[in-house]
Amino acid sequence: MKNLIPFCLFLLMFSCKTSVKTESKPITITSAEVKDVVTYLASDERLGRNTGTQGIDESATYIENQLKSYGVKPYYDTYRDHFKIGETNAFNVVGFIEGTDKTLKNEVIILGAHYDHIGKAKIVEGDSIANGANDNAAGTSAVLAMAKYFAAKKTNKRSIMVALFSAEEMGLLGSKHLAERLKSENLNLYTMVNFEMIGVPFKDRDYEAFVSGYDLSNMAAKLNEYVGQNLIGYSEVSKKYSLFKRSDNYPFYEQFKLPCHTISSCDLTNFDFYHHVDDEIDKLDFEFMASLINKMIPAIEKMSATETKEIIMYEE
């Protein structure tokens, strides 16, 4: 693991053009509520959510309070899954929405995103706070929105675990800890879907987001089938830079050898502010985000309801 650069590090090597708006029609989740979450997490007061700081502690408390208000239960005794990085205390935030089917509820779908960021970055015009709006307050807001939906509607037949990871930016440490813990506890995992940098739309593509490790399983094909459109596609960049191994899906794949993937709408072409102090809320397209989340919800709903485990790894 130590030689792997986290997903969000690879973009440092590139520069990109800015995004354009796309039309969207939110069905259940509004752009305003997505923006509220991102605004809290990516504000200067959170100081860039570096692991081990007050800013990430406040962020974790905020996420816990959101989950509680939605009626999502803690997976463990509390929402926090604690781990240590040397002397530093760190914690993932983990909630659980039990499935409605008496048999299928024993199988678990994990929806994940890292909520930490890097703290500070190179000073630009007096600003040193790396707000991490796209990376990854955006993914966190998506997971919270889906948690809110499923806790309210209770339409998931399989159980859904929501996992917000710390210390991704330090090398996927939070997800590695939780994946190992859940494996040792014999979690009956079906799939893991991770969300990373979904704050701006692609241009010039016939899909809205890509899945890392596209050719390892039928995840993309099944999500598109479930949602009835070409929502999730293939990214050359993801393949070239092995993004499958560079975000929080990968420790889950390593432990469980099941379909565990990251969904993202950012590779090289559409975001200029990667690990930059200007990765701030004014750069994000909240209409696009709400639209993508509202399309993912029925896909996850269907994923939770199929009689058999349809999403499978391809044979090597």
Q: Which residues would be at the binding site for Zn ion (CB under 5 A)?
A: 8, 135-136
Residue type, position 273, single letter: F
Least CB distance to Zn ion at residue 73 (A): 27
Least CB distance to Zn ion at residue 258 (A): 22
Tally DSSP H helices, then E strands, for the chain: 8, 11
Looking at residue 134, the DSSP 8-state letter turns out to be: I
Bridge partners of 191, per DSSP, are 109
Q: 7 or 83: whose CB is closer to Zn ion?
A: 7
Whether the CB-CB separation of 43 and 131 falls below 8 Å is answered with: yes
Q: 12 or 152: whose CB is closer to Zn ion?
A: 12
Q: 8 or 293: whose CB is closer to Zn ion?
A: 8
Give the span between the Cα atoms of 208 and 246, in whole angstroms. 20
Looking at residue 104, the DSSP 8-state letter turns out to be: G
Whether the CB-CB separation of 29 and 294 falls below 8 Å is answered with: yes
Least CB distance to Zn ion at residue 97 (A): 24
Whether the CB-CB separation of 276 and 290 falls below 8 Å is answered with: no
* Residue 91 backbone phi and psi in degrees, to 5: -155, 135
Q: By beta-carbon distance, which residue lies closest to Zn ion?
A: 8
Least CB distance to Zn ion at residue 270 (A): 15
Least CB distance to Zn ion at residue 250 (A): 13
Least CB distance to Zn ion at residue 110 (A): 17
Report helix angle 54-70 to 138-153, nearest 10.
20
Q: 47 or 118: whose CB is closer to Zn ion?
A: 118
Q: 136 or 265: whose CB is closer to Zn ion?
A: 136
Q: 166 or 224: whose CB is closer to Zn ion?
A: 166
